[in-house]
Amino acid sequence: MCGVESEYDVIVIGAGAAGENAADRVVKGGLSAALIESDLVGGACSYWACEPSKALLRPGTALHAAQRVPGSREAVTGTLDVPAVLKHRDDAVSNWDDESQVEWVDGAGITLVRGRARLTGAKRLTVDDANGNHFDLVARHAVVLATGSRPSTPKVPGLQHTPHWTTADATSAREVPESLVILGAGVAGSELAQAFARLGSRVTVLARGSLLSAFPEDARELVAGALRADGVEIIEGVSPELIESTDDGGVRVALPDGRTLEAARLLVATGRRPALDGLGLPAFGIEPTALRVDDTGLVLGNSWLYAVGDCSGRAMLTHQGKYQARITGDAIVARTKGELEKRPARWSRYARTADELAVPRVVFTDPELAMVGLSEEEAWEHGIRVRVVDLPISVAGAWQLAEDYEGWARFLVDEDRRTLVGACFAGQDVAELLQSATIAVVGEVPLERLWHAIPPFPTVSEIWLRFLEAYGL
């Protein structure tokens, strides 16, 4: 490929958010880096996941927020303008054009290589470009896998022969279907259910277990109630027995209880798996199903292969992947300079400790769910004597947001150290509460010191004062 050098200090496979950050950190550390990408630079988050899904959700959230406040409620008389919402989504993804992202890569001093890469030896790769050309690259120090994830499709009879949407199809849809069945009730399924319901679809969600089962029951019930208020039918504890196409181009879903659902579209949102196929990993004794990495992101069993983001098998979240990439990039630089020879200390700049203890997660439904740190069960598994403090978000700041504000919060306290190890919030705009909770968890701030962090009045942050009072301070 003309203009591409064959040797770099570090080669990063995958130019999504995690890959961009990994390459940027090693370049800032004085190393050269090549970034290999076969699709749009910026990755799934920028074009088919985080950005477009939030762009589809936000107009409905803003409209409902206005309708909850006297005065603005009377002024808002219309419904969502669907073409305007879809254009807003198109603008959010730059109309699926990565020119600005490519300019950033170039400005950061990173070499962009277009094509698909596979490992052919230790620190050696072959890249196939879209024109059928093949060329070899060599990494002097490290190769970083940042290949993201792929949809995980359940084994349901008939599904593989029935046309259906993935989440990427849903977030890039050019029109709103009259009816939609969503298979999967996790974060993506819940968010897209509400987005399409508020855009005019008749939506049914099928959950093998419970809606948003990774969150506490009180929190997820608030979201379930809101979805039902938007007209979404939620059927929990079911797995389809058969999925097939209808004569009019729609889909038919047969349930175990004998019910049959028909819809214009089927969305399969049953999770994702690391995208590791085709990279040549079996030749290195690595199964392309999951990776095991240490705190620096180094794949166990070798000294040069690293992984960041979804493909590393840890928390599949864009912000977490960027966090991992920054730490891994710094660790690679430190090792090339001889500054990192032993296992890094927890919470140091070279250890991805937050992957285990402080992962922030947000569900951008209306109401929102926001959680960080350990759950009650996880805390006990870690040997922590934990105390749980649950309370409604019933403060003056909440009443300013909505006349009928409903919210809920949970705080988990390590009783021996008297520090926060986890928190969960449910309610309108609670995502903005999460960073303060994350700081408290990561900083291991003693509750006696946290007592002096005064929440301004009137804001939803007053829930922190109510928590400390309920705890007994």
Q: Is 79 annotated as a binding residue?
A: no
Q: Cα dist. 70→66, 111, 404, 424 in Å?
A: 8, 54, 11, 29
Residues of the chain with CATH 3.50.50.60: 6-46+93-150+273-354, 159-270
Q: Is 87 annotated as a binding residue?
A: no
Q: Is 419 annotated as a binding residue?
A: no
180 vs 184: CA distance, rounded Å: 12
Phi-psi region of 330 (alpha: psi -120 to 50; beta: other; left: phi over 0): alpha
Do strands 149-151 and 361-363 pair parallel, antiparallel, or not at all (unpaired)?
A: unpaired
Q: Is 295 annotated as a binding residue?
A: no
Q: Is 316 annotated as a binding residue?
A: yes
What is the chain's pLDDT, residue by residue, as a tens digit (473 residues)?
A: 444 559 999 999 999 999 999 999 999 999 999 999 999 999 999 999 999 999 999 999 999 999 999 999 999 988 999 999 999 999 999 999 999 999 999 999 999 999 999 999 999 999 999 999 999 999 999 999 999 999 999 999 999 999 999 999 999 999 999 999 999 999 999 999 999 999 999 999 999 999 999 999 999 999 999 999 999 999 999 999 999 999 999 999 999 999 999 999 999 999 999 999 999 999 998 888 878 999 999 999 999 999 999 999 888 999 999 999 999 999 999 999 999 989 999 999 999 999 999 999 999 999 999 999 999 999 999 999 999 999 999 999 999 999 999 999 999 999 999 999 999 999 999 999 999 999 999 999 999 999 999 999 999 999 999 999 999 99
96 vs 90: CA distance, rounded Å: 8
Q: Is 186 annotated as a binding residue?
A: yes
On the CB side of 80, CA atoms within 13 Å amount to 25
Q: Is 189 annotated as a binding residue?
A: yes
The continuous run of DSSP H or E covering 236 comes out as: strand 233-236
Strand partners, 254: 242, 260
Residue 438's contacts (CB-CB under 8 Å, 6 or more residues apart) are 358, 360, 372, 373
274 vs 312: CA distance, rounded Å: 7
Tokens read off for 247 = 């004569």
Q: Is 200 annotated as a binding residue?
A: no
User: CA end-to-end span of the chain, whole Å?
Assistant: 66
Q: Is 318 annotated as a binding residue?
A: yes
Q: Is 276 annotated as a binding residue?
A: no
Sheet containing 419-427, strands listed edge to edge, beginning at the edge strand earlier in sequence:
361-363, 368-373, 419-427, 408-414, 386-392
* CATH superfamily ID and name for 367-471: FAD/NAD-linked reductase, C-terminal dimerisation domain (3.30.390.30)
Q: Is 222 annotated as a binding residue?
A: no
346 vs 360: CA distance, rounded Å: 18
Q: Is 223 annotated as a binding residue?
A: no
Determine the topology of domain 6-46+93-150+273-354 in CATH. Answer: FAD/NAD(P)-binding domain (3.50.50)
Residues of the chain with CATH 3.30.390.30: 367-471
Q: Is 237 annotated as a binding residue?
A: no
Q: For residues 391 and 452, is the Cβ–Cβ distance under 8 A?
A: no
Is 0.85 topped by the overall pTM?
A: yes
Q: Is 373 annotated as a binding residue?
A: no
Q: Is 191 annotated as a binding residue?
A: yes
Q: Is 230 annotated as a binding residue?
A: no
Q: Is 167 annotated as a binding residue?
A: no
* CATH superfamily ID and name for 159-270: FAD/NAD(P)-binding domain (3.50.50.60)
Residue type, 57: L
Q: Is 1 annotated as a binding residue?
A: no
